[in-house]
Homo-oligomer: A and B are copies of this chain.
Amino acid sequence: MASAIQTNVESASARYAADFTQGDLVLPPAKKYLVLTCMDARIDPARAFGIELGDAHVIRNAGASAVDALRSIIISQQLLGTQEVVLVKHTGCGMLTFQNEDAYGVVGKNLGEEAAQELEQRKLDFLPFPELEKAIEEDVEFLRRSKLVPDSVVISGWVYEVETGKTRRVV
């Protein structure tokens, strides 16, 4: 039996497909840029950052981590031709609220010894950060320094304010 969430996907999809007219869009992003932002439920990148369907890659992970997104950024840039990165972290981010030890502790307590071992085995870094604007600066710097991102790629760093809906530039 379908869960309530699965039923919602099905009904939303039926509505969306009924009016859908953009089936001819091509694979490479029309405006040749990518947006990297957080998975946070309070962010709607298309509306908040003005992304039309087909225009830009959108990469999202916990904290909008550039290190975590490197694989996707290289594919976007080298194989699909994007030439600009818009990196947006946000106020009230969960990544500001814990440290790796805390996450390791929660996993061990909730999921047991085998899970804790799998975490150790994968050497998983949860990539939390203590200061928002500093983290944006560091991530932009990481991309600018990486040999895997050519110097010609334009990179900017922004804060989205979940309280106001505003996006302001930091770097």
Contacts and interface: CB of A to CB of B under 8 A. Distances in A.
Contacts of A33: 5
A72 B162 CA distance: 19
Contacts of A117: 147
A80 B98 CA distance: 12
B162 A84 contact: no
Given A41-B55, A48-B16, A167 B9 contact: yes
B39 A72 contact: yes
A91 to B, nearest CB: 10
Interface in A49-101: 49-51, 53-62, 68-72, 74-76, 78-80, 84, 86, 92, 94-95, 98
A25 B56 CA distance: 27
Contacts of A112: 147
